Amino acid sequence: MEHNYSDLRVVALAGGVGGARLAYGLTQLISPGNFSVIVNTGDDFEHLGLSICPDLDTVLYTLAEIEQPQAGWGIADDTHECLDFLKQMGAPDWFQLGDRDLAVHLQRSAWLRNGIRLTEVTASLAVALGVKTVILPMSDQPCRTMVLTDQGEMDFQTYFVKHGWQPRLLGLAWQGSDMAVMTGEAQQAIQQADLVVICPSNPFVSIDPILNLPGMRTAVQQRPCVAVSPIIGGKAVKGPAGKMFTELGVQPSALAVAEHYRSLVRAFVLDEVDSGMIADVERLGMRAFAIPTWMKTREERVSVAAGVLSCAQGLLSRGV
């Protein structure tokens, strides 16, 4: 029997490609007014005089169905004439910016310079791209992820893109964390949610920046919460999560992700290849479920989203 989840009030915490893809799946099952995505802004940085918000844009482009299908970020079939000309003038080209992508950064930067909050800027960009889902930055104040490595401290994009996440990770810090707070919109969305979904995003650099905001972890703990593992068969689906676990002295696994979210989530979803870990995960005090979690196609995103909501059904305070 198929369930109708359209009236369920859901908030997703997301960052990166995995988070954006599950968010897309959830948008196909839940009414736009009942679904919000709170997105990591720890990756944000200034580049070529522009305010770049990589995770916000990945979610935005994915929900608008214009993302690069293979990479998962950037805009499909974008051109790079502006970047090529900038390179000719000696500008750095290590951070790839397509021409239509640049238009988003230009407009965002102009609005921010005029004093408009990032939350409002993001809402305007969503409307312009035909996205009905509410996309919420975790904070309107900068809270930048700084990566402590064997090659020194660097901002996340320098570590992730310029150096291809190869420097050895020693630790993480957040620049501006003493001033950043979660937005009122994000707080209200969580308070009104029937369910919080932690997407299969990197726990350290996509989800922790959100949870580390004052009051955020407590707010999530007060709602039914399910997390989805970004580690399948001991490896990250995409990005440096597996390498980060190893360099922090933890064997990368779905169980390690569950341990990371211990005391926060009530249910944990891992891939079926890791079903042998269900008993170990449940000993951490959460319910565990194994389902197919690969999301290579849009149809798979919807299927995984339906599976996650089905797994979480027992957590809900009201019927679905």
Domain range summary for the chain, segments of one domain joined by + = 10-143+177-315
Tens digits of per-residue pLDDT, 216-272?
A: 999 999 999 999 999 999 998 888 999 999 999 999 999 999 999 999 999 999 999
Name the class of domain 10-143+177-315: alpha beta
In contact, 217 and 210? CB cutoff 8 Å = no
**Cα dihedral across residues 284, 289, 209, 247: positive or negative:** positive
Beta bridge partners of residue 289, listed in sequence order: 269
pLDDT score for 195: 97
pLDDT at 163: 95
pLDDT digits (tens, 9 = 90+) for 189-204: 999 999 999 999 999 9
Position 2 scores a pLDDT of 64
pLDDT per residue as tens digits for the range 79-138: 999 999 999 999 998 999 999 999 999 999 999 999 999 999 999 999 999 999 999 999
Instruction: Give burial (CB, 10 Å; 0-12/13-18/19+) of 2.
Output: exposed
Give the pLDDT mean for 181-188: 96
pLDDT for the residue numbered 314: 85
Concatenate the DSSP letters of all residues of 161-220 into one string: IISTT-SPEEEEEEETTTT--B-HHHHHHHHT-SEEEE-SS-IIIIIHHHHTSTTHHHHH
Q: What is the mean pLDDT of the chain?
A: 94
Query: How far is the C-alpha of 1 from the C-alpha of 229, rounded, in Å?
Result: 26
Taking CA atoms, 188 is separated from 10, 23, 101, 160, 185, in Å, by 12, 19, 30, 32, 5
Residue 284 or 314, more confident: 284
> What is the percentage of the chain residues whose pLDDT exceeds 90?
91
Q: Which residue has the tokens 């409307």?
A: 127
pLDDT of residue 315: 85
Q: What is the pLDDT of residue 49?
A: 94
pLDDT (tens digit per residue) in 42-88: 999 999 999 999 999 999 999 999 999 888 889 999 999 999 999 99
